[in-house]
Chain A
Amino acid sequence: MTGVRVLAGTSKGAFVLTSDGRREEWEVSGPFFGGWEIYHLKGSPADPDRLYASQSSGWSGQVIQRSDDGGRTWEPVGNKFSYDGTPGTHQWYDGTPHPWEFARVWHLEPSLDDPDAVYAGAEDAALFRSADGGDTWHELPGLREHRSGPSWQPGAGGMCLHTILLDRSAPGRMFAAISAAGAFRSEDAGATWRPVNRGLQSEGIPDPDAEVGHCVHRIAMHPSRPDVLFMQKHWDVMRSDDGGDSWHEISGNLPTDFGFPIDVHAHEPDTIYVVPITSDAEHYPPEGKLRVYRSRTGGNEWEPLTNGLPQQHCYHNVLRDAMAVDSLDECGVYFGTTGGQIYGSADAGDTWAPIVRDLPRVLSVEVQTLP
């Protein structure tokens, strides 16, 4: 029966939420890996039973888990993430050179067509790939070794490679985004990269329109229109119509254009979602009202979606990897908060309801649409 599986990573474990196509009744399983931070988990588009999870802790570092039964059982796989060659330095917060040090995997992006192939976005920013189901990992060093690499600086959360987008229409084309270096594009499956940040303006860096140094929070793409990219930057919501070669602002009438996640409707490439957050100093919704904003025009014109969301005294954040959409006929939208709620909408955002209310801090939300 058609259904959905929501994969939630939290600060104290992973949870799997399942429902049928109506998305009214939910079964909640977990916590898996209780007590560990689960930055991200995601399923293979080629095999929905194959899942990967990034498990880490300040005590014991990185573990990668793999499931072959849709998240019911898990096996730890390889956790050796070694930078290629002698990695050199990037800039530290104070501007001094700092050695590249692996901290954790922020994001796992399974291959579109091979369940055993998966990319990992790491902190300190680097891209790794496994071709054997996560048993072994190898860096694709062309990104970190870009000539601008020594000038990259961490954002407040660390220098993380948090976004990996694969273009189904152009094998070998992929995008990555790093806080706070910016967006990058590869045309050769990650071997070489070029920054794609023209048009971004960031007042917090010495040269506001520099080639790199922008704190990109998230990028989203609709698979049917891969040249159109949407970006939530530290401040500003941006759009590119040329695969990242140039960007223009589409913040329009948003109450604030600071935020973290951005996503695209499964069937309407010009319908996009953001969650405005007050500011970089106040990581909570304006006026204590949790509002998702939807644009049906590809940006600039935004409408608040509030039905079912708390409209007073809400001071949670929604992190960059904590929003996802399903691809049922009526597109479902899901997001998790730092207060432990996961909200779902089965009608493209018109109405919302909490699926769970009291999880640990939600770090990531992904959804699988099941056959």
Chain B
Amino acid sequence: MIRVVLPAHLRTLARIDGEVELDVPGRVTRGSVLDALEVRYPVLRGTIRHQDGGARRAFIRFFACEEDLSHEPPDAPLPEPVATGAEPYLIVGAMAGG
């Protein structure tokens, strides 16, 4: 079970309370986690990564295990503690004004 934490404005949009728990078939990567997340919550399509091409939106970051994984390739394996559910995968809205 993969644990995913979303920024508040996306939890509101998708009507989610707390963490999301996802079954991710196969390799646990950013791409596979987001695929599973978007299947569960279609409203999140386009809000974390672009729908055309799948690139990360500029002000969205991915953290786990006290590391910034934002620049890892989308098909790179996520850390083992994320894959086992010991640690959450954090999807974060970058700190910026407004």
Chain A residues within 8 Å of B, Cβ to Cβ: 34-36, 57-63, 76, 79-80, 82
Select B45's contact among A35, A57, A59, A79, beta carbons within 8 Å. A79
Residues of A with C-beta under 8 A to B50: 61
| Least Cβ–Cβ distance between B15 and chain A, in angstroms | 10
* Docked complex Cα distance between A62 and B52 (Å): 13
Residues of A with C-beta under 8 A to B94: 59
Determine whether the beta carbon of A60 is less than 8 Å from that of B43. no
* Docked complex Cα distance between A34 and B47 (Å): 16
Determine whether the beta carbon of A79 is less than 8 Å from that of B9. no
* Docked complex Cα distance between A58 and B47 (Å): 10
Number of CB contacts from chain A to chain B under 8 A: 45
> Please, how many residues of chain B have a CB less than 8 angstroms from a CB on the other chain?
20
Chain B residues within 8 Å of A, Cβ to Cβ: 7, 9-10, 12-13, 43, 45-48, 50-52, 57, 59-60, 93-94, 96, 98
* Docked complex Cα distance between A34 and B11 (Å): 12
Determine whether the beta carbon of B98 is less than 8 Å from that of A80. no
Determine whether the beta carbon of B9 is less than 8 Å from that of A57. yes
* Docked complex Cα distance between A60 and B48 (Å): 6
Determine whether the beta carbon of B52 is less than 8 Å from that of A60. no
Residues of A with C-beta under 8 A to B46: 60-63, 79-80
* Docked complex Cα distance between A59 and B10 (Å): 10
Evaluate whether A59 and B43 lie within 8 angstroms (CB atoms) in the complex, with A80-B51, A82-B51 already known. no
Determine whether the beta carbon of B9 is less than 8 Å from that of A82. no
| Least Cβ–Cβ distance between B82 and chain A, in angstroms | 22
User: Which 9 A-B pairs rank lowest in CB-CB distance, beginning with the nearest?
Assistant: A60-B47, A59-B59, A76-B43, A59-B93, A80-B51, A79-B46, A61-B46, A35-B9, A82-B52
Select B60's contact among A34, A60, A62, A76, beta carbons within 8 Å. A60
| Least Cβ–Cβ distance between A347 and chain B, in angstroms | 38
Closest residue on chain B to residue A57 by CB atoms = B9
Residues of A with C-beta under 8 A to B13: 60, 63, 76
Closest residue on chain B to residue A76 by CB atoms = B43
Residues of B with C-beta under 8 A to A79: 45-47, 51
Residues of B with C-beta under 8 A to A59: 7, 9, 57, 59-60, 93-94, 96
Determine whether the beta carbon of A61 is less than 8 Å from that of B47. yes
| Least Cβ–Cβ distance between B25 and chain A, in angstroms | 24
Residues of B with C-beta under 8 A to A34: 12
* Docked complex Cα distance between A115 and B7 (Å): 33
* Docked complex Cα distance between A125 and B98 (Å): 25
Residues of A with C-beta under 8 A to B60: 59-60
Determine whether the beta carbon of A58 is less than 8 Å from that of B59. yes
20 A-B pairs with C-beta separation under 8 A: A35-B12, A36-B9, A58-B59, A58-B98, A59-B9, A59-B93, A60-B9, A60-B47, A60-B48, A60-B93, A61-B46, A61-B47, A62-B46, A63-B13, A63-B43, A76-B13, A79-B47, A80-B45, A80-B46, A82-B51
* Docked complex Cα distance between A61 and B56 (Å): 11
Tell me which of A36, A60, A82 has the highest count of chain B C-beta atoms within 10 A of its own C-beta. Answer: A60
| Least Cβ–Cβ distance between A64 and chain B, in angstroms | 10
Determine whether the beta carbon of A58 is less than 8 Å from that of B96. yes
